[in-house]
Structure 1
Amino acid sequence: MMKKATLTVSFESEKMDALTYHMAKKDTDLQTELEDTVQKLYEKHVPQATREYIDDKLSRESAAKLKRPVRPVATGGSDNRLT
């Protein structure tokens, strides 16, 4: 799984209130809009070859995590002796 980074942006609080109010009226989520915008900036500024390298690296890491063997869980000493 890819680690997430957190961005901090300063914006006038009254403008923020107006923005979230009007976005809510249109059933639009600010977080989703910001993520889409950052993705577009990434695609615009990061060269295609670099994006392909990163995508390949992330897919290999995901595949490696899926292939890890699952260890059996110890059940804590249940005793099957007959008495």
Structure 2
Amino acid sequence: MADKANKYPENVPGKYYVDNQCIDCDLCRETAPNNFRRNDEGGYSYVYKQPSTPEEEAQCKEAKEGCPVEAIGDDGDQP
């Protein structure tokens, strides 16, 4: 389960974030390409843009549920 205390600083503020458990598997970037990007130097993903449409929200939720190491967090209380 993702830990907000260990999230990467590149994550934009908001509901979703990626923490330091990320293994750079590319699943989130393939599932929600408008929202996740790769840090090439560090070899991990981060939330580049919070979802702004129902489709993006569904893609981010799918990415979170599919993450093999549960590195994607969802604060739930954020808009």
Structure with greater Cα Rg: 1
As a proportion of its length, which structure holds more helix? 1
How does the TM-score come out when normalised to structure 1? 0.22
How does the TM-score come out when normalised to structure 2? 0.23
As a proportion of its length, which structure holds more strand? 2
